[in-house]
Chains A and B, each alone.
Chain A
Amino acid sequence: MFSTFANPHRFLALSKWLMPLFAVLGAIIVATGWAWAFFFVPEELYQGATAKIMYIHVPAAMVSLAAYASMAVCSLLFLTLKHSIADVAAKSAAPVAAALSFICLVTGSLWGRPTWGTYWVWDARLTSMLFQLFLILGYMALRSAFQREQDAARAGAILCLVGAVNLPIIKFSVEWWNTLHQPAGFITLGGSSYAPEFYWPLWYNLIGIGLVFGALMMAAMRAEIFNRQYEAKLARMNRSAA
C-alpha cells in the first residue's frame, strides 16, 4: 500500500476546493430545482400532479446508473493498473449509488401507486434498478467481509465488473419478459417527449443531483484516504516503537 499512496496528494489537493464547491452548488440547485418542480410546473395532462415526482425519479435513475458505471470503470482501472485511488473511488461511490438507486425505486413506486393503482409494477427499468441495488449492496457486503484491504478491493472489483456485464442482460431479459406478460397500453415511466416547460426543470434537477453525487463521492474518498493514511501511520509508529 505504501508506494501507491504517492498520487492521492494530487487528488486531495484537487478535491480540497472542488468538493465544497460541488456540495454548495449541488445543494442550491437541488433545493431550487425541487421547489421549481413542486410549485411552478403546471399540471401535466393525464398524469395529474404526480408527474412532479418525475423530477426526482428520472435524475436519480440516471445518476445512479452513471454511478454504477463509474464504479465499474474504477474497478477495471484498479484490476489492470493497480491504481489504489481507483479502488478508493469505487468504494466511495457505492453508498451514493445505493442511495440513489433506493430513491429511484421508492419514488418510482410512489409515482406508480396513483397512476397504476399498485406500488410495484414489473416494469423493465424499475426491475433492473432493483437488481442494480442488489448488486451494489452485495458489493458493499462482500467488501466488508474481508479483513485485508487488498483482498476486499480485488474481490469487490471482480464482482462489480461481473455485475456491469450482467446489468444490460438483465434489463433486456426483463423488457422481453414484460412484453410477454404485460397487457397492451401500459404507460411507460415517461420518456423525454415533454413540452419545454417540463423539460428544463428536468435538466436542472439532473445537474443538481449530479453535483450532489460528485460532492458525496469526493467526501467519502477523502475520508477513506485519511483512514488508510491513519492506519498506515499507526502501523509504522507501532513498529518503530516495538
Chain B
Amino acid sequence: MYFIATHRELQFVLGRGGKIRVSENHSSFVPILTIDSLTAVRGYNLLFQGLNFKLQSGQFAALRGPNGTGKTTLLRMIAGFIEAETGTIEKVEEYRERGPFYLGHDHGLRASETPLSHLTDWADIHYSPRSDIPDILERVGLTLRQHVPAYSLSAGQKKRVALARALITPRLLWLLDEPASALDTAGQALLCELMKEHLDEGGAILAAIHDDLELTPDLVLDLGAFA
C-alpha cells in the first residue's frame, strides 16, 4: 500500500490491486478540482469567462454545451495543456506530481505499437507495476488482440487501450472528452462500470458527454451559461 495523493493532511491510500480507498478518518467530501473566474480565448474569440466550478471526491460532473463553446479547451486547460487567460484552476496533488487522467479524441497509439507494448511502456513510464497488465487487458477485453499492431485495430479497440491506461496508473481526477464516441454498446457498458468503480473509490470525473450514459451525473456544468 502506498499513498496516492495527499490533500491538506488527508491521505488517499492505494489499496491492493490498484484500488483507491479514501482513508477512514476524513470528512466525506474532499475538493478534487476548484476553478474560479476562469476565462478562455481561442484565437480572438472569447469562449467562456468567469467560470466557477467545484468538484468533490466521489462526484461525477457532466460537461454540456453546443459544439465550439470550449468543452475540449476547458478540459485541456484543466489538464494543463493550455494556459488560462485569467482565473485559477486548483487540482488535488496527484501521486508523483502526475497530472489528471486525460482521455481525448486521439488515442495516443503510434501505428506500430501493440496494446501490450503500449501498456507496458505506459506502466514503466509511470513507475507502475507491470504485474497487473494481463488482467487489465482481460478487463477491457483486449486479451485476444494484445499483440495486434495499432494500424490494424479499430477505433473502439484503441479507445479501450486508452481506458486500460486509467487502470494501470490510478489517478483521482478523470477528464473525459466524449469518452463514449467510437465505443460499441459493450464498450459503453464497460465505460460506465469503470466510471462507477472510480467514483465509489473516491475519485472524481469531469466528462463532456452528449448521449446520456446510464450513469446519472451528480452535477452539470453547462458552458453555454458562461459564454
Contact = CB atoms under 8 A, between A and B. Distances in A.
A and B touch in the complex (CB under 8 A): yes
Interface of A: 1-3, 147-149, 231-232, 234-236, 238-239
B85 A3 contact: yes
Contacts of A239: 45-46, 227
A200 to B, nearest CB: 50
A3 B41 CA distance: 11
Nearest to A1: B41
A130 B100 CA distance: 47
Contacts of A1: 41, 44, 85
A240 to B, nearest CB: 10
Contact of A3 (B44, B45, B86): B86
Given A1-B85, A2-B85, A3-B85, 4 more contacts: A2-B46, A148-B43, A232-B44, A235-B43
Contacts of A232: 44
Categorize the interface residue count of chain B.
under 10
20 contacts: A1-B41, A1-B44, A1-B85, A2-B39, A2-B41, A2-B46, A2-B86, A3-B85, A3-B86, A147-B43, A148-B43, A231-B44, A232-B44, A234-B44, A235-B43, A235-B44, A238-B45, A239-B45, A239-B46, A239-B227
Nearest to A2: B85
Nearest to A228: B44
Nearest to B42: A148
Given A2-B39, A2-B41, A236 B85 contact: no
Contacts of A236: 46
A235 B39 CA distance: 15
B69 to A, nearest CB: 11
A235 B46 contact: yes
Contacts of B46: 2, 235-236, 239
Nearest to B41: A1
Nearest to B47: A239
Chain B binding site: helix, strand, loop or mixed by DSSP?
A: strand
Contacts of B39: 2
A2 B86 CA distance: 9
Interface of B: 39, 41, 43-46, 85-86, 227
Nearest to B46: A239
Contacts of A234: 44
A152 B82 CA distance: 15
Contacts of A238: 45
B186 to A, nearest CB: 40
A1 B46 CA distance: 10
Contacts of B41: 1-2
Contacts of A235: 43-46
Contacts of A231: 44
Contacts of B43: 147-149, 235
A234 B45 CA distance: 9
Nearest to B227: A239
A147 B46 CA distance: 16
A158 to B, nearest CB: 15
Contacts of B45: 235, 238-239
Contacts of B86: 2-3
B90 to A, nearest CB: 20
Contacts of B44: 1, 231-232, 234-235
A5 to B, nearest CB: 11
A151 to B, nearest CB: 10
Nearest to B49: A2
B45 to A, nearest CB: 4
Closest 7 CB pairs of A and B: A235-B44, A235-B45, A231-B44, A232-B44, A3-B86, A239-B45, A148-B43
A147 B42 CA distance: 11
B66 to A, nearest CB: 11
A236 B45 CA distance: 7
Contacts of B227: 239
A102 B63 CA distance: 54
A3 B83 CA distance: 14
A120 to B, nearest CB: 44
A236 B46 CA distance: 7
